[in-house]
Amino acid sequence: MEEPDRWRHMRNAPRDGSRILVTIRPTEQGPGAVDLAYWSNGDQFGGEAWRSSDSAPGRIIEYAEPELKCWMPIPSADPDRMSLPSPWKGKDTQELEVDGSGI
């Protein structure tokens, strides 16, 4: 069984609507960050895309594929660790490389 608290390439992220943690790439607007997101097959509010779990009808937060660096399953509850993991800050490797810069 794979270790759950490990960042993984976005191409392997589940597209079944389940919530996952994602690392958002750093941009001119700010540093990399972690968000809770899910894949949406599209609806009356937007097309197929990764959406932040903070989204609400009329206020959809969507991420383009190049904006997301990697993902991990939501860690199980652990009272000794009550914070989100840090964003993945390593250099892109073959395993985590995403085509295009997103700009």
The total number of structural domains that make up the chain: 1
Angle at 36 between CA 30 and CA 38, to 5 degrees: 115
Say whether 35 sits in a helix, a strand or coil: strand
Residue 16 lies in a domain: yes
Higher pLDDT, 79 or 37: 37
Domain-located, residue 78: no
45 within some domain:
yes
Asked if residue 98 belongs to a domain, the reply is no
Residue 90 located in a structural domain? no
Domain residue limits at 19: 8-73
How do residues 61-100 score in pLDDT, each as one tens digit?
899 989 999 999 988 776 666 666 777 777 765 455 444 4
**Are 64 and 49 within 8 A, CB to CB?**
yes
Instruction: Please indicate, yes or no, if residue 26 is contained in any of the structural domains.
Output: yes
Evaluate whether residue 79 is within a structural domain: no
Is residue 43, in this structure, part of any structural domain at all? Answer: yes
pTM of the model: 0.68
Q: Which of 34, 35, 52, 10 minimizes the C-alpha distance to 88?
A: 34
